[in-house]
Chains A and B, each alone.
Chain A
Amino acid sequence: MRDAFDTVNPIVAFVFFAFALIMPMLVMHPVLLGISLVCALIWLFMLRGRKAIGYILKFVLPIMLLTAILNPLFNHAGITTLFYLRHNPVTLESIVYGASSAAMLASVVLWFACFNQIFTSDKIVYLLGRFAPSISLVVSMALRFVPLFSRQAKRISYAQRGAGMGTGGGSVIKRARSGLSILSSLITWGLETSVTTADSMRARGYGLHPRRSFANYRFDGRDALIGGLLALGMLCSALASGFKLISIRFFPSFKINEVTPLFIAFCAIYAITLLIPVIMNSIEAYRWHLSRSKL
């Protein structure tokens, strides 16, 4: 099923991801990191289902482990020495810091995993096209050339086989050589095609007017609602860190802000902001359930 957040205006979606990615990097607060991690995990499971487990085991866990282990080994700052490892102190603070930075890295990687599912190339080209038209044009053309090349490579291979220059069998060296000859004509063809494309673009008036990219995205009421929620979440985050509602210090001794009702309120706002896609998906699923039960 298509993810509900997939249909949101790319600009709003981009701001959401920027917020989700920058917050853990800026504020390495264990509670906020935990919230961010959980929200990213729930959404990733919604997006990728069981495949998410393999991704986490293969990719996210090793990064976390490495970071959590490396920090106490190399960083001896902090005043609470737990034990000595080869005459080097291992401190509680650096273990806590290692765990926090592992959580930070993991949540950044997980949010990026969600980003990769939502931000398909058309959305990226749309976003880039607004302030870097030439670059976005190169990106979209390169994306188009990749499948074109593989198709043409197949054609060249058939043609060579038809001409009696077999590419199917033979020793490794023979196959490598025929592969190289395919590559060679492919590159020549690709370069020549690029000029043909450029001439065709010029003939259609490229460069005469500022270029606009194809966009299938409107900014509707739902986008405004999500944007407003996001803005509220960002404002609260700025205020919370401005008024020292959230503060954290790892070295020399671990110190964290007190848990006040305001802090809990902020955590709730932060969680709701990050859960926007999950909430949207749940509403969608509920609607689906309702419309099905009516039948």
Chain B
Amino acid sequence: MNEAAHEKQNMHDMTGGGTDERILAAERLRARMEADEKKRRLIRRIVSAVLILVFVPSVVLVGMLEWHDRQYYIVSMLIILFSMVPFFFVFEKRRPRARELTLIAVMVALGVAGRAAFAMLPQFKPIAAIVIITGVSLGSEAGFITGALTAFVSNLFFGQGPWTPWQMFALGLIGFLSGILFNDQIKSKWKLFLLCAFGAFATVGIYGQIMDTQYVFSAAQNVTWEMFLAAYASGLPMNLIFAAATVFFLLILTKPLLNKLGRIKLKHGVFR
């Protein structure tokens, strides 16, 4: 049974075999929510376009002209900060419901507690797995917010640093992508395998690469390809541990967590 039919059936059951009008009203509500979603996407696109087409080039330009070029560190950090603004801006502007906020807060707390629980094993942490599952179940926007805030809040415990914006962006991006690439119908082994493959790629290819790039930009003025290769090579063992942890936690957490989140979504009508 697909989702819409399920919803209809639900509505039917709740109203005790109610009239068609109620079903029609539910349909109308759904259509309005979809229109809202489209509008939100449009706003996000416009804001991102303005930031990416106007702000980022102007930062690069100022960096080149005023700061005598090659201020890679501050320029790259400003670009990272700017590229997070559209997500937070749209989230803030649409005045999210209380239930969405509390649900996101619980997922953030889970990620933070998970990082703290496995703190004695270096890089072996469930943070990315929880962010991916959140993105898969609650959608790309919630995925981004959860990822970025998990990085931020866990750094309140483990120490903020110049790496904070980069971690926020990397984890947010992972949550965002998992929301776009997967829906919460991960029933077959094949789909779970695909999700784990994405998890491994996301930790090495996205998180690891962004964090290693951050190091190169912070340390060097004349950035060369050899430097990037050296940084990636030296970061690889840590990234591989992180990837193994992510795949491990995805394997054991995906099914139960998706079930629980699905139940909450169905029962309380949130994030649909």
Contact = CB atoms under 8 A, between A and B. Distances in A.
B194 interface: no
Interface stretch (A136-144, A222-230, A259-267): A136-144
B246 to A, nearest CB: 17
Among B71, B74, B220, B221, residue most surrounded by chain A Cβ atoms (within 10 Å): B221
Contacts of B112: 142, 146
Given A116-B159, A138-B101, A26 B74 contact: yes
A138 B73 contact: no
B193 interface: no
A207 B95 contact: yes
Nearest to A120: B156
A187 B110 contact: yes
Interface string B198-218: 000000000000000000001
B219 interface: yes
A171 interface: no
Interface residues of A, number: 59
Contacts of B105: 137-138, 141-142, 145, 194
A132 interface: yes
B145 A138 contact: yes
Contacts of B136: none
Contact of A26 (B67, B106, B260): B67
B104 A138 contact: yes
B221 A135 contact: no
Given A138-B101, A149-B113, A194-B103, A112 B221 contact: no
A285 interface: no
Interface stretch (A7-15, A34-42, A66-74, A287-295): A66-74
B230 A70 contact: yes
B222 interface: yes
Interface in B101-148: 101-106, 108-110, 112-113, 116, 145
A134 B159 contact: no
Interface string B12-36: 0000000000000000000000000
Contacts of B157: 146
A70 B256 contact: no
A223 to B, nearest CB: 23
Given A133-B92, A197-B98, 6 more contacts: A105-B218, A137-B105, A138-B145, A142-B112, A194-B106, A198-B101
Interface of A: 21-22, 25-26, 66-67, 70-71, 74-75, 77, 97, 101-102, 105, 108-109, 112-113, 115-116, 119, 121, 124, 132-135, 137-139, 141-143, 145-146, 148-150, 180, 184, 187-188, 190-195, 197-199, 201-202, 206-207, 249-251
